Structure 1
């Protein structure tokens, strides 16, 4: 096959490109320039898409022996990922920008351009597997598994995707990179949000949305417990940074239960009030032949899995959890998995709209 290898400048994408070449594919490397104002150097493991990353990707392509290009996709990234991130927080939701980047950039904009140029598929360094049956599965390295952020991909997109690293652990990938004399073998993994290199998400959002003071209230009594400079600075389940003026009568900590942008109110309460056992979600991407499935669901990146009964009706996914979950935030993805002898299979995903208690719904 003639394949396009997306090379971020990290160790995973470099080894993925090398493996694709070893497999006999005609490989071309491409680095996606996603930042409008790329910095020359990273700050440790924070940030990506810098000039340093572009140079690292080019050097890796030279060592592997494949052609290499840089594609400027800063505007597409800003419109589809950064703006979406800001707008979602402004609406009281908690988005996952990595999921949106995979959906809108790597496997929509990039894949569309690649196909138009005559490529058959796009290769990435994601830790996930595509079985012989074409189904998306978890990586063998559960700690690095990225199937959660890939579950939004459609069947057509998965048919043109290649994930060479799904059968390897991160340690094996680094060892292979060193054996191949790739300079990125020991390069730190990028973490947090790539376009917020200092890690200050609240500061980034305030720079975009401005200060918007409001109240923090008790979910049970309605009492005002404190104030905030912007409801967008909070997420469901958050405990730190609440700065409450009135301590709880029982002395226990309080957690964010809900965010209401219309009234600019953040509601808090005890940990048990976070529990939900019914999750609804929209924008489903479903790969199973059945509309109803007893399965396991993951409600946030690297979160624990919960057994659930999942159903689809009129474009809405409903998951009835076998045991309560906490910290379920609108805007995150719910991903359904079916345990399998060859590794957990992704059944589908959807974007969470709400979590509730079945008893409260009765």
Structure 2
């Protein structure tokens, strides 16, 4: 039999490195593809950037990816999606912050770059049968339901199905996730077994493909300061000032610079039009609680009618990564709009973030939280 060809998204990290090694063990023809999606000079990335580093972190990642490919004796390609990342991910990211919302660029990056532009390039230009990524998640084809399902990674601490909730049937049919059944500790051991340069490398943090930044300063590259008042939501009195509503998130405590108060405060509400941040004392978290939310742009990975007999059903949800599952009732309002009602009030559900639905280990899909409701 002819070997199936897989293109691995080799990022220069340990997870993608071991993904390539496992696929080789499984008998696939493996090649690697390194993506470059951000150019600090081209994208005016000055404020908040560590400009004193000898080697750009992205180039360091590429050098590590080269070493891994060399060690595993696989061919490595390199491609730039800088314009695509800007057009499909970053412009939306900035636009949402301007509206005072808190977007999730990793989800958009997966939807439009890794599993779209990368996938097309791998299939059409490199003649691959599949692509593979180092995510802690899995793909399963259910023959009875005739559908591809996205399932959680077994390592509960590392499960990344939340970030993959916008994928569709076509994307899943062409994707392999070899790390689904592994714990992170096992991945490190495999990397050491193959003597890979990434075995002890720290996991990347920060914005997808941009990396670690002083976030407020970074945003000021693209959104000018818009100072305003900080108001105590209970007394309606001004207790401070800020440099821009968009730089703060609901529930945030650090960075408010409210000296001389009896107790810490958190961000309870944002008024982007009037440039006001409303804060509440930490001893009273009722302002963070909501009972339901409206979710737009919802992507059902499989038709929900495969699993449920009505447009109202019960399942579990996450409103941020690593949050424990929350029991909810869902009402499908239209093709891509749903209402989620929680069994108990939930803290800090935030407009612009992603609501992701699950039935046990199956990820049903996700969408953007548009309105947070107190009722």
Fold similarity call, TM over 0.5? yes
- Cα gap change, 1:37/1:130 in structure 2, threshold over 3 Å: closer, same or farther? same
Q: What is the 5 A alignment of 1:166-185?
A: 166-185=180-199
The answer to whether the 8 A contact 2:38-2:210 is kept is no
Superposed CA deviations along residues 266-292 of structure 1, whole A, max 9, x for unmatched, are 122241111011021100111232343
Q: How is 1:64-75 mapped onto 2 (pairs within 5 angstroms)? A: 64-75=72-83
Q: CA-to-partner distance for each residue in 1:198-220, whole Å, 9 max, x for gaps?
A: 53111111232122111122334
Aligned residues of 2:206 and 2:212 also touching (Cα < 8 A): no
Q: How does 1:31-110 map to 2 (within 5 A)?
A: 31-37=34-40, 50-110=58-118
1:264 aligned onto 2:275: yes
Partner of 1:330: 351
Unpaired segments ≥5 residues, structure 1: none
SS in 1 for 2:202: coil
Shift of 1:82: 2.6
Judged with a 3 Å threshold, the aligned counterparts in structure 2 of structure 1 residues 131 and 48 are, in CA distance, closer, same or farther, namely farther
Q: Deviations over 1:16-70 (max 9, x none)?
A: 112222222222200001221489xx99xxx996111101111111222221111
8 Å Cα contact 1:226/1:246 also seen in 2: no
Q: Deviations over 1:117-173 (max 9, x none)?
A: 232221000011122423111111010110100111112211111100010001101
Paired residues, number: 346
The secondary structure found in structure 2 opposite 1:3 is strand
Task: Say if 1:225 and 1:246, in contact at 8 Å, map to a contact too.
Answer: no
Cα 1:99–1:273, aligned 2, differ >3 Å: closer, same or farther? same
Structure 1 residue 243: deviation in Å?
2.3
> SS at the partner of 1:183?
coil
1:289-304 equivalences under 5 Å are 289=305, 290=308, 291-304=311-324
Q: Is 2:320 the partner of 1:317?
A: no
**Counterparts of 2:224 and 2:40 in 1: how far apart (Å)?**
21
2:166 to 147, 152, 159: 152
**CA 1:48–1:136 in 2, change beyond 3 Å: closer, same or farther?**
farther
**So what's the TM-score if we normalise by structure 2?**
0.87
Per the alignment, residue 145 of structure 2 pairs with: none
Structure-2 residue corresponding to 1:353: 370
Kindly tell me: are residues 62 and 196 of structure 1, through their superposed partners in 2, closer, same or farther at Cα, counting changes over 3 Å? closer
2-structure distance, mates of 1:161, 1:64: 21
Contact kept, 8 Å, 2:289 with 2:345, in 1: the verdict is: yes
TM-score by length of 1: 0.90
**Which of 203, 215, 229 is residue 189 of structure 1 equivalent to?**
203
Decide whether aligned partners of structure 1 residues 145 and 127 sit closer, same or farther in structure 2, where only a CA change above 3 A counts. Answer: same
Call closer, same or farther: CA 1:9–1:196 in 2, change over 3 Å: closer
Q: How big is the alpha-carbon RMSD for the aligned residues of Structure 1 and Structure 2?
A: 2.2
Aligned-residue offset at 1:10: 0.6
What is the deviation of 1:80?
A: 2.4
Match status 1:10 vs 2:21: no
Pairwise CA distance, 1:244: 3.1
Question: Does the 8 Å contact 1:48/1:195 carry over to 2?
Answer: no
